[in-house]
Amino acid sequence: MPTIFSQIVDGEIPARTVYEDETTFAFLDANPLAPGHTLVIPKDEYERLNDVPDDVAADLYATIHDLVPAVEDAVDADGTTVAFNNGEAAGQEVPHVHCHIVPRFEGDGGGPIHAIAGETPDLADDELDDIAADIESIV
Ligand code: AMP
Protein backbone atom coordinates (compact mmCIF):
# COMPACT_ATOMS: atom_id res chain seq x y z
CA MET A 1 0.00 0.00 0.00
CA PRO A 2 1.56 3.33 -1.05
CA THR A 3 1.99 5.95 1.65
CA ILE A 4 -0.36 8.92 1.74
CA PHE A 5 2.51 11.04 0.44
CA SER A 6 3.08 8.71 -2.53
CA GLN A 7 -0.62 9.06 -3.28
CA ILE A 8 -0.16 12.85 -3.27
CA VAL A 9 2.83 12.56 -5.64
CA ASP A 10 0.73 10.36 -7.93
CA GLY A 11 -2.14 12.88 -7.90
CA GLU A 12 -4.53 10.46 -6.21
CA ILE A 13 -4.94 12.71 -3.17
CA PRO A 14 -5.14 16.48 -3.60
CA ALA A 15 -2.49 18.71 -2.11
CA ARG A 16 -1.26 22.26 -2.46
CA THR A 17 1.90 21.51 -4.41
CA VAL A 18 4.61 24.18 -4.24
CA TYR A 19 7.51 22.43 -6.00
CA GLU A 20 8.27 19.32 -8.02
CA ASP A 21 11.29 17.95 -9.85
CA GLU A 22 12.42 14.50 -10.96
CA THR A 23 13.14 13.14 -7.49
CA THR A 24 11.61 15.52 -4.94
CA PHE A 25 8.22 17.06 -4.20
CA ALA A 26 6.91 19.70 -1.80
CA PHE A 27 3.43 20.66 -0.66
CA LEU A 28 1.69 22.52 2.14
CA ASP A 29 1.05 20.60 5.34
CA ALA A 30 -2.68 19.93 5.75
CA ASN A 31 -2.52 20.80 9.47
CA PRO A 32 -0.15 23.76 9.44
CA LEU A 33 1.71 24.79 12.56
CA ALA A 34 2.12 28.19 10.92
CA PRO A 35 1.13 29.79 7.60
CA GLY A 36 3.42 28.35 4.94
CA HIS A 37 4.21 25.10 6.81
CA THR A 38 5.64 23.01 3.98
CA LEU A 39 6.64 19.36 3.66
CA VAL A 40 9.50 18.31 1.38
CA ILE A 41 9.76 14.65 0.40
CA PRO A 42 11.67 12.33 -1.89
CA LYS A 43 9.20 11.04 -4.50
CA ASP A 44 10.30 7.48 -3.86
CA GLU A 45 9.27 5.95 -0.54
CA TYR A 46 11.93 5.68 2.15
CA GLU A 47 10.69 5.29 5.69
CA ARG A 48 13.57 7.01 7.46
CA LEU A 49 16.45 9.34 6.63
CA ASN A 50 18.69 6.35 7.29
CA ASP A 51 17.19 4.62 4.25
CA VAL A 52 17.67 7.45 1.74
CA PRO A 53 20.41 6.82 -0.85
CA ASP A 54 23.19 9.42 -1.16
CA ASP A 55 22.06 10.86 -4.49
CA VAL A 56 18.46 11.29 -3.34
CA ALA A 57 19.67 12.83 -0.06
CA ALA A 58 21.63 15.41 -2.05
CA ASP A 59 18.55 16.19 -4.19
CA LEU A 60 16.39 16.44 -1.08
CA TYR A 61 18.74 18.87 0.60
CA ALA A 62 18.99 20.97 -2.57
CA THR A 63 15.20 21.30 -2.64
CA ILE A 64 15.07 22.19 1.05
CA HIS A 65 17.83 24.75 0.46
CA ASP A 66 15.78 26.43 -2.29
CA LEU A 67 12.46 26.24 -0.49
CA VAL A 68 13.48 27.67 2.90
CA PRO A 69 14.01 31.23 1.60
CA ALA A 70 11.01 30.92 -0.73
CA VAL A 71 8.70 29.90 2.11
CA GLU A 72 10.07 32.62 4.39
CA ASP A 73 9.56 35.28 1.70
CA ALA A 74 6.07 34.04 0.83
CA VAL A 75 4.73 34.46 4.36
CA ASP A 76 7.12 37.21 5.50
CA ALA A 77 8.54 34.98 8.25
CA ASP A 78 11.36 36.01 10.57
CA GLY A 79 12.89 32.52 10.44
CA THR A 80 12.06 28.84 10.03
CA THR A 81 12.34 25.68 12.07
CA VAL A 82 13.48 22.96 9.64
CA ALA A 83 13.22 19.42 10.97
CA PHE A 84 12.58 15.74 10.33
CA ASN A 85 10.74 13.49 12.76
CA ASN A 86 12.94 10.47 12.04
CA GLY A 87 11.30 7.27 13.31
CA GLU A 88 8.22 6.61 15.41
CA ALA A 89 10.11 7.30 18.63
CA ALA A 90 10.73 10.81 17.34
CA GLY A 91 7.06 11.37 16.53
CA GLN A 92 7.09 10.36 12.86
CA GLU A 93 3.55 9.42 11.85
CA VAL A 94 3.83 9.08 8.07
CA PRO A 95 6.42 6.41 7.16
CA HIS A 96 7.73 8.35 4.16
CA VAL A 97 10.67 10.69 4.85
CA HIS A 98 9.52 14.31 5.02
CA CYS A 99 11.15 17.53 6.05
CA HIS A 100 9.00 20.09 7.88
CA ILE A 101 9.69 23.72 7.00
CA VAL A 102 7.81 25.66 9.68
CA PRO A 103 7.84 29.46 9.35
CA ARG A 104 8.61 31.25 12.58
CA PHE A 105 7.69 34.75 13.68
CA GLU A 106 9.04 36.96 16.44
CA GLY A 107 6.85 36.35 19.50
CA ASP A 108 4.98 33.39 17.96
CA GLY A 109 5.11 31.58 21.29
CA GLY A 110 6.87 28.53 19.86
CA GLY A 111 10.06 27.04 21.26
CA PRO A 112 13.47 26.23 19.85
CA ILE A 113 14.35 22.74 18.61
CA HIS A 114 15.64 22.09 22.16
CA ALA A 115 12.02 22.05 23.32
CA ILE A 116 11.65 18.51 21.90
CA ALA A 117 13.67 17.04 24.76
CA GLY A 118 11.93 15.29 27.62
CA GLU A 119 14.23 14.77 30.56
CA THR A 120 17.74 15.82 29.56
CA PRO A 121 20.60 13.47 30.57
CA ASP A 122 23.44 14.49 32.84
CA LEU A 123 26.42 12.96 31.02
CA ALA A 124 29.93 12.79 32.44
CA ASP A 125 32.91 13.83 30.30
CA ASP A 126 34.05 10.24 29.75
CA GLU A 127 30.57 9.22 28.61
CA LEU A 128 30.53 12.12 26.14
CA ASP A 129 33.99 11.08 24.92
CA ASP A 130 32.80 7.48 24.40
CA ILE A 131 29.70 8.56 22.51
CA ALA A 132 31.67 10.87 20.23
CA ALA A 133 34.22 8.10 19.56
CA ASP A 134 31.46 5.57 18.78
CA ILE A 135 29.77 7.90 16.30
CA GLU A 136 33.09 8.78 14.67
CA SER A 137 33.95 5.09 14.26
CA ILE A 138 30.60 4.22 12.66
CA VAL A 139 30.08 7.12 10.22
P1 AMP B 1 5.05 13.56 11.03
O2 AMP B 1 4.41 13.58 12.38
O3 AMP B 1 6.44 14.15 11.02
O4 AMP B 1 4.99 12.21 10.38
O5 AMP B 1 4.21 14.58 10.16
C6 AMP B 1 3.24 14.20 9.25
C7 AMP B 1 2.64 15.49 8.71
O8 AMP B 1 1.90 15.18 7.55
C9 AMP B 1 1.70 16.18 9.69
O10 AMP B 1 2.15 17.51 9.93
C11 AMP B 1 0.37 16.17 8.95
O12 AMP B 1 -0.37 17.35 9.15
C13 AMP B 1 0.80 16.04 7.50
N14 AMP B 1 -0.18 15.42 6.62
C15 AMP B 1 -0.80 14.23 6.81
N16 AMP B 1 -1.63 13.98 5.76
C17 AMP B 1 -1.48 15.02 4.90
C18 AMP B 1 -2.05 15.33 3.63
N19 AMP B 1 -2.95 14.54 3.05
N20 AMP B 1 -1.69 16.49 3.03
C21 AMP B 1 -0.78 17.30 3.62
N22 AMP B 1 -0.20 17.05 4.81
C23 AMP B 1 -0.55 15.93 5.44
- Looking at the DSSP bridge assignments, the partners of residue 19 are 26
Dihedral angle of Cα 2, 36, 56, 45, to the nearest 10 degrees:
-10
CA of 84 to the centre of ligand 1 (A): 12
Residues 3-52 have pLDDT tens digits of: 999 999 999 999 999 999 999 999 999 999 999 999 999 999 999 999 99
Instruction: Please state, in angstroms and rounded to a whole number, the distance separating the CA atoms of residues 91 and 99.
Output: 13
Statement: the pTM of the whole predicted model exceeds 0.75 = yes
- Looking at the DSSP bridge assignments, the partners of residue 16 are none
* Atom in ligand 1 nearest the alpha carbon of residue 94: 4
Residues 42-83 have pLDDT tens digits of: 999 999 999 999 999 999 999 999 999 999 999 999 999 999
Residue 65 catalytic?
A: no
Q: What is the pLDDT of residue 137?
A: 98
State the DSSP code for 50.
G
Burial bucket for residue 90 (CB in 10 Å: 0-12, 13-18, 19+): exposed
Q: Indicate the domain borders of the chain.
A: 4-138
Burial bucket for residue 23 (CB in 10 Å: 0-12, 13-18, 19+): middle
Q: Whose CA is nearest to atom 15 of ligand 1?
A: 30
Instruction: Name the residue of 3, 4, 16 to mutate for ligand 1: max ligand atoms within 8 A of Cβ.
Output: 4
CATH number of 4-138: 3.30.428.10
Q: Which residues line ligand 1 (CB under 6 A)?
A: 4, 13, 15, 29-31, 39, 85, 91-94
